[in-house]
Structure 1
Amino acid sequence: MRRDELGDLAVFLTVAEELSFTRAAAKLGTSQSALSYTVRRLEERLGVRLLTRTTRSVMPTAAGERLLRTLGPAFEDIDAELAALSALRDKPAGAIRITAGEYAATSILWPALDRLLPHYPDIKVEIEVDYGLTDIVAERFDAGVRLGEQVAKDMIAVPIGPEMRMAAAAAPSYFATRPPPRTPQDLTAHSCINLRLPTYGGLYAWEFEKDGRELRVRVEGQLAFNTVGLIVGAAVAGFGIACLLEVDMAAELRAGRLVRVLDDWCPPFPGYHLYYPSRRQPTPALALLVEALRYRG
């Protein structure tokens, strides 16, 4: 294989993964026309069509799918070996891409990075805030941060925060005209503020547990939001009961702007974990960050 062919294969891999010349060009910092020329040159050299192009989409052909399955793991191994070379440096170096929710990014990741990065100027970190359950392998992230129960079983997961709890709460003004719920089933008689989930667009079914008994309740109300801040604001304004992570409402609960209910139905569960693929050896830079984030109680 000539050296220029390796570069052509890398271009094909990016276009095939992105399913778009536009997104691939942005990712590689070049033009769409340059990528199109490179892919055509590769197809002519191999004598097979690798991509099916229309005005709206790009899809791998059968030959392209086969090549994609081969190239993906091979280039991941190359990236891992190149990153591992930083272990030979005096200090770890390299880029780390992490996906996390906003609370974890601002309250856990950033404080650790603020302490760590000044001592390691050759480490670069990119954090993408995402409320969905991103496939970190498909999206080529080095690691992700999610609640422990959301981490896939084939991942290495490292706890980076304490156990957490859910909290159901409403403003004192809301309970001034109606009795608070005593069981999750009582919520059907209340106005509740729904959370629209980012992954599939459905409404979050409120989850409760007591004495080993688990309940999921579909609630109704005037309002639904896909952001935590708006839900908290609506609850404080008296529009109904909200059910969120306890940390999301901690300030309002302490100040008395929200009153908690169903506390005995909200047991603790595993908190935030940083996770990465078990078959991939973490780079020295990622290993350093893992140790800086590891929760030790």
Structure 2
Amino acid sequence: MDRDLLAHLPIVLTVARRGGFASAAAALNMSPSAVSHAVKAVEDRLGQPLFVRTTRSVALTEAGASFVASVGPALATVEESVERVRSAKGQVAGLLRLNMPRLALPLAITPAIVAMSRLYPDLTIEITADESLVDIVADGYDAGIRLGEMIAQDMIAVRLTPPFQAVTVAAPSYLEERGVPDAIADLAGHNCIGYRLISSGAAYAWDLQDEDGRAVSVAVSGSVRVTDSLYARELALQGVGIAYVFEPLVREDLSAGRLRRVLPAASIEEPGLFLYFPRNSSGVPKLRAFIDTLRRTLRLS
């Protein structure tokens, strides 16, 4: 094996996963020119281009896609082997890449991250807060966190939270000014803080249930639309309008009276948050350490 070629392969994979040289350079703490040089060195040795470069985008060629598909799993196996040896010496090290919606951080993850930073100083945890559904294997993540119903069946899933409701809430000041809706149809006359789905670009219709317990999808309108439920909560606290959020995010606000439930009978139950990862990764030391730390901090059985 050409040792120079081998050294550059992780850079090629990062460019492919990040979709650009600048993004890859930031992730690798390298300059864009150094990343470009490394990719060109690999292309020169292989005798054909791996990427199509334009002024606006970087995409894999057919040969590049085939190369990345073959090399990626091989390098992952090497990295896992190195980490297993380190683990035998009591070491958990390397880079743990996680993908999750931002709401998972306060609900389940932050205490574990704090504990991990103290227990495993040689481990770097990289968290991508992403509301869209991603292929964690194709994008180079070790694990992801999503609602249970959004996880592929070929993944191992670890429950992080109990089921919880998706609720509609508003500040007392808003309800005093605009009135309290008595039925789902009344939402049409209210300022509802909407969501824009990042993955599809569509406006999100609220999932509720009618008086007979049937699921209904309700298109709402208002003066603000966001992509982040934590910001929807913040706007609701400021009296902007009615927000649709997961109940654990506003539990303290409801107890303190800063927010009030709206149409509580229309709330649906979600399955809760789950950590998920490929079956062949369950024994990887850095992931195993993260799971064990989550179990302790969340008091999971």
Contact 2:53 2:59 in 1 (8 A): yes
Using the alignment, how far apart are the partners of 2:240 and 2:9 within structure 1?
56
2:13 is aligned to 13
Q: Give the CA deviation at 1:138.
A: 3.0
Identity of aligned residues (%): 38
Aligned length: 297
- 1:48-87 alpha-carbon deviations (Å, 9 max, x no partner): 3333333443333322222222212222222222222223
Contact 1:97 1:141 in 2 (8 A): yes
- 1:248-267 alpha-carbon deviations (Å, 9 max, x no partner): 22233223333212222224
| Equivalent position amino acid for 1:213 in 2 | R
Q: Give the CA deviation at 1:177.
A: 6.2
After superposition, the CA RMSD in angstroms is 2.9
TM-score, structure 2 length as denominator?
0.83
Query: 3-state DSSP class of the match of 1:165?
Result: strand
Q: Give the CA deviation at 1:219.
A: 1.0
Contact 1:184 1:215 in 2 (8 A): no
Q: Give the CA deviation at 1:218.
A: 0.4
Using the alignment, how far apart are the partners of 2:18 and 2:32 within structure 1?
13
1:68 is aligned to 68
| Equivalent position amino acid for 1:248 in 2 | L
Using the alignment, how far apart are the partners of 2:229 and 2:17 within structure 1?
32
Contact 1:196 1:202 in 2 (8 A): yes
Query: 3-state DSSP class of the match of 1:221?
Result: coil
2:271 is the alignment partner of 1:278: no
Instruction: Map 1:39-54 to 2 at 5 A.
Output: 39-54=39-54
Q: Give the CA deviation at 1:176.
A: 4.1
Using the alignment, how far apart are the partners of 1:92 and 1:58 within structure 2?
34
Query: 3-state DSSP class of the match of 2:290?
Result: helix
Contact 2:205 2:219 in 1 (8 A): yes
Looking at CA atoms only, which structure, 1 or 2, has the larger radius of gyration? 1
Using the alignment, how far apart are the partners of 2:38 and 2:231 within structure 1?
47
Query: 3-state DSSP class of the match of 2:269?
Result: coil
Identify which range, 160-169 or 176-185, moves more after superposition: 176-185
Instruction: Map 1:126-141 to 2 at 5 A.
Output: 126-141=126-141
- 1:210-248 alpha-carbon deviations (Å, 9 max, x no partner): 665211100122332334454334434544322211122
1:235 to 1:276, Cα distance in 2 relative to 1, 3 A: same
Query: 3-state DSSP class of the match of 1:14?
Result: helix
Q: Give the CA deviation at 1:207.
A: 0.7
Contact 1:105 1:127 in 2 (8 A): no
Can you give the 5+ residue segments of structure 2 that lack an aligned partner in the other structure?
A: none
| Equivalent position amino acid for 1:147 in 2 | L
1:218 to 1:12, Cα distance in 2 relative to 1, 3 A: same
TM-score, structure 1 length as denominator?
0.84
Identify which range, 156-165 or 75-84, moves more after superposition: 75-84
- 1:1-42 alpha-carbon deviations (Å, 9 max, x no partner): 332232244443333333433333333344444444444443
Can you give the 5+ residue segments of structure 1 that lack an aligned partner in the other structure?
A: none
